[in-house]
Structure 1
Amino acid sequence: MTGGFPLDLILFAMVAAFLVLRLRSVLGRRTGFERPPAPEPRAPGYDPRAARTLDGVAEEVRPAPAKSGTRQVIPDARTAPGAALGRIAAADRSFTPEGFLAGAEGAFRMIVAAFAAGDRQTLQALLSEQTYAGFEQAITAREQAGEQQRTEIRAVHEMGIETAELRGNIAEIVVRFVTDQVNMTTGRDGEVVTGSDAITELHDFWTFQREVGSADPAWKLTATSHG
């Protein structure tokens, strides 16, 4: 019909309205198959009531933030390390043991990966001058021998603050890392020189230092040892 309302537009409008109503009914209704929120991860054998001892005084065992499976062990405030942590926090209001350990875990992963890759730039930013010199010497010797380092951190089970000190404006904290790692060095021909591809539990003790009140918020790695 000339000048009449087009029937095809009416049909399109009806179809569109039907689809909108169907989408609302589907998107606005739970189906019963939604996955429930995942529980917070816990390290194997984690017991929030467990306690360790340090100089005869119980330590506090605190879980790390929800996305980490790492257990944090922080000295009780009545111990010498715990009291030192309190003095560090008083001198630097941004400092908390939990936040420090979270940052220490990140630094641990970065330094281990950088050493294996021979990434001198990253190491220089995270290590003290003396510690960097030792790492750089080891990397150079490895390169001259034509060796390759493979290191994989499979899990960080626990981080504990072993000791803490505040000497003047220099804060120093020793952290114990309990990790599962794969460490292997291969020669030019691909033959294994040291280590293996087996997963090994390692206990590392790393010493971090920072000048309290400095504009640079970074803690530097100043020493490493194995337990």
Structure 2
Amino acid sequence: MEFFDLGTIIFLVAAVVIFIQLRNVLGRRTGNERPPFDPYTAGRGKREPAPASQDNVVSLPRRKSSETADESYAAIDKVAAPGTDVNKGLRAIRDADPSFEPVGFVDGAKMAYEMIVMAYADGDRKTLKNLLSREVYDGFVQAISEREQRNEKIQSSFVGIDKAEIVGAEMKGSEAHVTLRIVSELISATRNNAGEVIDGDPETVAEVKDVWTFARDTKSKDPNWKLVATEAED
């Protein structure tokens, strides 16, 4: 039977000591650790789940107790000067929905804008239905149907958005409304049944200026905004 030599015993003792030290430094899992960082969801507004006993109550995230009013409105003041009607409207929306962030909203609206413009050109009713209010959807679908009856097709290529800024904001009851002025570049041409261009130019990039209003019910579980009004700027 082989016995441990002195060197082996010293090594084992050292290993035990190191293990105990690491345990003291790293600690144990208590269940209160921060969740892993997710780069795809970081920065998004988060909602607190409603208590299990209140299934019909939507719990909006509350302002941190250590956060002052000025800190809560800091992101709003960066996009709209304090004291202006736009700033007041955005603050009212923030009060109704503390997860609202104007910069994140504009980014989402820009993506929705492109999707809506291209879906309209393609006659994609399914996509439009998810992004538009009923009234706006009905108007878009009517225009698409009339175009189809004339056997016309729109050939479009979305180049990009040059500018998107919030120009209006207000609460209407529990519904938040935000209006943006969007300047985009688009290549668009309408062709008849013979393939002839009857409107637009398939070779020219045109500047398009729109004023669109998006809305959502701050008391709804649905976090998505929908387009509720459109206006072309001259």
Structure 2 length-normalised TM: 0.64
- The CA RMSD measured in Å over matched residues stands at 1.4
2-structure distance, mates of 1:75, 1:186 = 42
Query: Which structure 2 residue ranges, 5 or more long, are not aligned?
Result: 1-74
Q: 1:1-227, aligned counterparts within 5 Å?
A: 74-197=79-202, 198-227=204-233
CA drift at 1:150: 1.5
Query: Which structure 1 residue ranges, 5 or more long, are not aligned?
Result: 1-61, 63-72
CA drift at 1:77: 2.7
Look up the equivalent residue of 1:88 and give its one-letter code. I
2-structure distance, mates of 1:77, 1:104 = 23
1-structure distance, mates of 2:227, 2:188 = 21
Look up the equivalent residue of 1:120 and give its one-letter code. R
Corresponding residue pairs, total? 156
User: 2:14 maps to what in 1?
Assistant: none
CA drift at 1:183: 1.5
Question: Matched residues, percent identical?
Answer: 40
CA drift at 1:74: 2.6
2-structure distance, mates of 1:175, 1:89 = 17
Look up the equivalent residue of 1:129 and give its one-letter code. R
CA drift at 1:133: 0.4
Structure 1 length-normalised TM: 0.66
1-structure distance, mates of 2:130, 2:194 = 33
1-structure distance, mates of 2:226, 2:160 = 23
1-structure distance, mates of 2:82, 2:127 = 34
User: 2:22 maps to what in 1?
Assistant: none
2-structure distance, mates of 1:133, 1:168 = 24
TM-superposition CA deviations, 1:133-169 (whole Å, max 9, x none): 0000011011111111122221211101011111221
